Structure 1
């Protein structure tokens, strides 16, 4: 049995080892509510370690769980350096950490110039030598499209072809044609296209009978973001 100063020394070593082992355990925390971002803005995806231990010798991965590129990442910081290998191309030059805050356990991601394709579920994954944890954050992107453009595509035998178009929406919008009384015109489903940044262009062609007023309305709406734009067009009689 060890007694005296040697016993005290052994006890201190055991206590120090216990405290050191305990200090590497952590939780990764983030918001529980979705982050709503307006296209073109910069946003921060909050992610923190609890307790606020230094993160500098750990690895953090930011992943987009809804991305088509399952083997690539949004961002990686590993043992003091940024790793650009296998980064999703659309995030290059738009992502960063607050490196001056890493020593206080802040692993939040800054995402600049938000675009439609950024919408999705993001995972903040932190790993040390002895522990790991993660949190998932939902990002919603909103964008109101351009002014509606209406054009006359021809007229014959009392009928007219009209085209309405708007671009730059997110999420995908709806488009309807209305007559002068606000009644929906039969035109079939609109044509929708999505560009490489994830924004939607919607267009619809309709054939209408000429009326006494020749007044028609094109309306584009997006219910999730509660936005609606419309334009009324008057086609002079021949």
Structure 2
């Protein structure tokens, strides 16, 4: 061993590591939580518990409940007092510490009026000095929604559509259809929409034959609560109602509006029928929430989409003829797209679809230039305030298209587009280029840039940079040469005087 000190040191290190790993912390403990998830309905109070083992007081410990970050706890206690200033946003005033069994190491967190956002995993951490242990607790939040409504649309060429709707569910429930033999029927489409309250609206569509004479049920099931709600419809009765043989007529062409203008969506029943006792609903892709709901002569505000609140009004002067117009004030880019106008009575709906095209003509393009190191010129054309996304094109003096170097589009928060395009010019024969920005409908704005003139201007701008140093160099050369020239002039004058004194002809001076 004396000849192998390296082996000796490694053996000692291994022994120390073994000792450190096997020696227990003097105050070692562990934490356990409930064996099963804690199931709580929306609006009720949830109680989450955890236990310190071996059982002992937590009076001199730090105990905190948290979601994902221990530094932002749901609630925290240290030395028997609540730690303020750290609490996670959303739990203030709702999270409560319970101290029923802290002497035996049992702590509990009460969350008042549980919300859908409370669903998920929580951690209970005990810490004493630098030693800590924790356990997880799963909170399952559930909500049983409203009783389903079955709406009948049709009959039509594709058959009769049955639409089952309900709201107020959490988490997303299972929806299925059954016939009188309790056999499941295949849905045509299924949609789930998360509402402002964190609860789900469900909409499920079933298509059946026009001659169907069955009774059909829609069931919506919450797996956590193991509860379901059901609605049943007898098709023969529904297909004999007033609206079953009616049609709804809307505009045959897209409705074109500029941003900031009003949108008017008009639809009417055919044959013309008094609609005062009907529900008229303007929607986008789903029955709920709606753009506007008009029922019993009034607006149903609680069903309206957030983006349309305070912006809609119904003109119902001709409602006795089944004719109504929805006016949407201050058109926005988000209003662009398809709408549906539905007339409903006794669970039967008929609808018409209409397209709204929102446009915004942006600013006149601004063209700027940059001279590149290789002598080329880069032109940048920019404009903003466009909707939908515009088409950008560079053109030469002859009107022919010139490919751009790059194009970039950015959609601002209000939905309008900014556009920027670059053109690299390396050919001196390219002059008078035009940047054109246009919409599909034909609205266009353009700017022309006299590229040849710009190069002349760049030359004149560069002349002072070239001429000024040259002039300075010439002046400096004159200053350096001046003493030599003066000496030469003096010598010539002396020679002339000497020749005159000696009587020599002056024209012989260069030959002496």
* RMSD, aligned CA: 3.0
SS of the equivalent of 1:237 reads: helix
Q: 1:89 to 1:205 in 2, by over 3 A?
A: farther
Contact 1:37 1:141 in 2 (8 A): yes
Segments of 5+ residues of structure 1 without an aligned counterpart are 1-20
Segments of 5+ residues of structure 2 without an aligned counterpart are 1-239, 460-512
Structure whose CA Rg is larger: 2
SS of the equivalent of 2:319 reads: helix
> What residue number does 1:18 align with?
none
- 1:75 deviates by 1.1
2:265 corresponds to 1:38: no
> What residue number does 1:10 align with?
none
Residues 85-127 of structure 1, C-alpha deviations (whole Å, 9 max, x = no match): 3533332222211144434422221122223332211100111
Q: 1:151 to 1:96 in 2, by over 3 A?
A: same
SS of the equivalent of 2:307 reads: helix
Distance in 1 of aligned mates of 2:254 and 2:429: 50
Structure 2 matches for 1:44-55, cutoff 5 A?
Answer: 44-55=264-275
- 1:29 deviates by 1.9
Distance in 1 of aligned mates of 2:242 and 2:305: 34
What TM-score do you get using the length of structure 1 for normalisation? 0.74
- Structure with higher RCO (Cα < 8 A, 6+ apart): 1
Q: 1:187 to 1:55 in 2, by over 3 A?
A: same
2:283 corresponds to 1:63: yes
Distance in 2 of aligned mates of 1:135 and 1:186: 43
Choose between structure 1 and 2: higher helix proportion.
2
Distance in 1 of aligned mates of 2:258 and 2:281: 24
> What residue number does 2:395 align with?
178
Q: 1:196 to 1:64 in 2, by over 3 A?
A: farther
Structure 2 matches for 1:212-231, cutoff 5 A?
Answer: 215-222=432-439, 224-231=440-447
Q: 1:128 to 1:169 in 2, by over 3 A?
A: same
Distance in 1 of aligned mates of 2:267 and 2:368: 49
Structure 2 matches for 1:90-105, cutoff 5 A?
Answer: 90-105=307-322
Contact 1:72 1:87 in 2 (8 A): yes
